[in-house]
Amino acid sequence: MPTNELKKKTIGRLNRISGQINGIKQMIENDRDCADIILQVAAIRAAVTQLGVVMVESHMEECVRQTIKSGNSKALAHALNKVMKRMLK
């Protein structure tokens, strides 16, 4: 579970991404140039990717650290594989 600070930053990121998505909707409604829209789509994709990176870092710092402390290497491998499979889909 993310810390309160991470949760606050994550919600801020999501709010910005939501704003970008609404901006694209308005661009389409206003018949803006496709190149401008594509640029915004790329920006959203980068923002979502970065959000995923931040969440993986949080997972590594908290959940994986706890698994390491428990000494259960199979559980650690499983936790890492699970996260990486989800991120790389």
Task: Map out the domains of the chain with their CATH numbers.
Answer: 4-88 (1.20.58.1000)
Task: Give the tokens for residue 24.
Answer: 């694209």
Task: Name the residue among 27, 42, 84, 31 with its Cα closest to residue 59.
Answer: 84
Task: Name the residue among 81, 6, 17 with its Cα closest to residue 49.
Answer: 17
pTM to 2 decimal places: 0.74
pLDDT-based confidence at residue 82 (cuts at 50, 70, 90): confident
**What local confidence, expressed as pLDDT, does residue 35 receive?**
97
